[in-house]
Structure 1
């Protein structure tokens, strides 16, 4: 018997006590069979949705009654409980026009997308697997339940789910399933931007993301058409042995699996097909492509409704993507103070990933600079280096006591941080106090205020 959390067992016991037959289904069964802990739990049973609401009146939420879905919160764990059903026609290529509630688990599994997701687990530990999902799971294959063309025409989101599962699970798409997905890709135009965004967030974090991006650019190019011009676009430059999309896919895979990093690398060269020029030797150059890519990223993020926090982090990474600095303490410390500690760490990741996805000639030398920069960055972090005004060992109140007023205080704090980051001034109270006194006597803050007013 596969291990089940007590919160899940409580729901099963309640349904069985009322005379119903519950099953765990979908991704949670797939993950348990893979030896992984499920991130969520889905169940199905022959209990009508109104009966589920009655049985779990204190903790049930009608999250999709028209499709028989009720979310039951058990011990703080949300469990999606859907009544066994047959689906009617899918005229909008996304949702069934009607559903018919039934009592057969086999009938319910017949409407699911892929065989590895069409396995049910009964409370006694019996697996119901009418479509060979366990064999496909062992083989690492994604295969549609029934006819692939029909499955994708019913719900176009399944096309993007196929790509996402290839990335996250590291599975390959079965030949007919893959062919049908490529042929039906235009149906993704029917999928809401929010659903595309949700799938892409998961897809980009997959361990097999590089190979997946290389395999399905035509599919991804439907919801994100900016991708398509990059596919097969020759860079005509000795630094690059891959076309723009080949470089992009490898760069995405080369950064750690953080959303802002994976999206940044997906976006960073989108502008290249718009600005290629050639020098006298016929070498391709892409002057200004980072700024163009950043603007394209803004349009994509607005279209897909990125949340503001992620959009701001990606914007910050693209803004500094081309920054260059020597692998020296003062240079890196100043970057950390100017951009922020996390942004600089991410910048080092993107530099190394961008290099890793280029031609091998000269790669070792190019990477050595950024590896040295990473080493210095790590040393500064371990030392607790001062990288913001708030970390200075002097406060605005201390400066006010010396006679500084209003905006003068901010100007002097910024100057002190600059000197600390440049490794010219230690971040110690007595040293900062003495420097602030010298700046006061020199009239630095007053002169700075006057200059700002004239500009």
Structure 2
């Protein structure tokens, strides 16, 4: 900013970094706006400058600590794809540049001396905890439909309420999200779910999520008609979400763990609801939904596995916990316990007594981890070479190693070299 000002240009911090500074937060990113043309910015910063978005007036300047986007004051042309303007026109007016931005709390600017520009009342909205569009909400959302998901994300992350006119615009324009790239939706949804108040936002906007995940809508208002539950399926989901830690994998698991219940619901002769097979159905649906938003394979597989496992009982015994450790690994087993705790806390109060059993399971897990209990092939006291020396060949080596590991995990044989070799010799003799 000093470099731009020394060359006779204006330079202002703008957007999220100004918002975060006024909230007492450390900004994640720094964006600068200026009346310098992109070509002038490139010339000023030389080989530190990258022409990352010249068409829209953006130059990225690398510093020793970070990259900073510097964008020329601009006014936007028509938005035909509901995402980016077809063309932009550069302007000399900071206020005109701020007028094109999404929300008032993101339309504030500050220079190096702390001079503050806030033509749309963003500071007051920030003080009141209100998210409000700059100008007409529907116009803002029709220009860039992703702004709706950004609005929900900001509301969840900042624990803000959404101004009634802005909220009405989101509901009216929600179908435009069908035209937004799935990867963009995923990014905003993840940040929403890991915010301070995701449940409050999702409670008010299930119709918005229903544009890209229509599977959610049948959960809303579905009475479970079961004494274990005091909430409908959607409310149970939101309460479980609120009770879970802000790990993205855990939060997605809570959002999707009962997604299959509407398909599985059956009423008995007394009118009570039952959901047999819903974990498997939920996992199947979660797989499809996560693929639709282009989740990476590892994250998708982890969430789907936790959804499928969320209702499986785990005994507080060494063999049971070792089997879970073998199947899931420590990180995901701890996530599963967090999922189970949150799921239990969202049930009827009389049925929230499983926490003590989960405490016992976690105590066993802590002890097994501390003891470095054998739950994987690499921890086994024998290797493939040992089995080759006993006469095992080809695929039989892998099969026997896994059988030995099963025996160790189940507590049938200790993880000791001599004991395992004796076991393997007996298995080989039995196979002859």
Normalising by structure 2, report the TM-score: 0.94
Question: Quick one: distance in 2 between partners of 1:276 and 1:437?
Answer: 51
1:140-159 equivalences under 5 Å are 140-159=129-148
Name which of 372, 376, 390 aligns with 2:360.
Answer: 372
CA displacement at 1:232 relative to structure 2: 1.1
Q: Secondary structure at the match of 2:47?
A: coil
Q: Partner of 1:106 in structure 2?
A: 95
Answering whether residue 244 of structure 2 is matched by residue 255 of structure 1, we say yes
Q: Partner of 1:381 in structure 2?
A: 369
Change (3 A) 1:440 1:208: closer
Q: Partner of 1:185 in structure 2?
A: 174
1:203-222 equivalences under 5 Å are 203-222=192-211
Work out whether residues 270 and 293 of structure 1, in 8 Å CA contact, stay in contact via their aligned partners in 2: yes
Question: Quick one: distance in 1 between partners of 2:246 and 2:122?
Answer: 28
CA displacement at 1:424 relative to structure 2: 4.0
Work out whether residues 337 and 417 of structure 1, in 8 Å CA contact, stay in contact via their aligned partners in 2: no
Q: Partner of 2:409 in structure 1?
A: 421
Name which of 248, 273, 288 aligns with 1:299.
Answer: 288
Name which of 396, 415, 418 aligns with 1:434.
Answer: 418
> For structure 2, which runs of at least 5 residues remain unmatched after alignment?
none
Answering whether residue 377 of structure 2 is matched by residue 393 of structure 1, we say no
Deviations 1:284-316 (A, max 9, x none): 111222222222222212221111221121222
Q: Partner of 1:127 in structure 2?
A: 116
Question: Quick one: distance in 1 between partners of 2:53 and 2:240?
Answer: 40
Change (3 A) 1:314 1:447: farther
Work out whether residues 279 and 309 of structure 2, in 8 Å CA contact, stay in contact via their aligned partners in 1: no
CA displacement at 1:323 relative to structure 2: 2.2
Change (3 A) 1:371 1:440: closer
Question: Quick one: distance in 2 between partners of 1:275 and 1:167?
Answer: 31
Normalising by structure 1, report the TM-score: 0.90
Question: Quick one: distance in 2 between partners of 1:384 and 1:50?
Answer: 60
Q: Partner of 1:162 in structure 2?
A: 151
Work out whether residues 344 and 351 of structure 2, in 8 Å CA contact, stay in contact via their aligned partners in 1: no
1:313-352 equivalences under 5 Å are 313-352=302-341
1:235-314 equivalences under 5 Å are 235-314=224-303
Question: Quick one: distance in 1 between partners of 2:321 and 2:424?
Answer: 29
Q: Partner of 1:199 in structure 2?
A: 188
CA displacement at 1:205 relative to structure 2: 0.9
Question: Quick one: distance in 2 between partners of 1:210 and 1:447?
Answer: 58
Question: Quick one: distance in 2 between partners of 1:209 and 1:446?
Answer: 60
1:43-82 equivalences under 5 Å are 43-82=32-71
Work out whether residues 46 and 83 of structure 1, in 8 Å CA contact, stay in contact via their aligned partners in 2: yes
Work out whether residues 199 and 239 of structure 2, in 8 Å CA contact, stay in contact via their aligned partners in 1: yes
Name which of 222, 225, 228 aligns with 2:217.
Answer: 228
CA displacement at 1:165 relative to structure 2: 0.7
Question: Quick one: distance in 1 between partners of 2:67 and 2:308?
Answer: 40
Change (3 A) 1:223 1:338: closer
Work out whether residues 114 and 142 of structure 1, in 8 Å CA contact, stay in contact via their aligned partners in 2: yes
Question: Could you list the runs of 4 or more consecutive aligned residues of structure 1 that deviate by over 6 angstroms after TM superposition?
Answer: none
Work out whether residues 375 and 409 of structure 2, in 8 Å CA contact, stay in contact via their aligned partners in 1: yes
Answering whether residue 23 of structure 2 is matched by residue 39 of structure 1, we say no
Q: Secondary structure at the match of 1:323?
A: coil
Deviations 1:368-415 (A, max 9, x none): 212221222122222222221112233333444455444443333323
CA displacement at 1:283 relative to structure 2: 0.4
Q: Partner of 2:163 in structure 1?
A: 174
CA displacement at 1:67 relative to structure 2: 1.3
> For structure 1, which runs of at least 5 residues remain unmatched after alignment?
1-11, 451-455
Work out whether residues 404 and 424 of structure 2, in 8 Å CA contact, stay in contact via their aligned partners in 1: no
Aligned CA RMSD, in angstroms, stands at 1.9
CA displacement at 1:119 relative to structure 2: 1.0
Work out whether residues 106 and 130 of structure 1, in 8 Å CA contact, stay in contact via their aligned partners in 2: yes
Question: Quick one: distance in 1 between partners of 2:81 and 2:302?
Answer: 36
Change (3 A) 1:446 1:64: farther
CA displacement at 1:47 relative to structure 2: 1.2
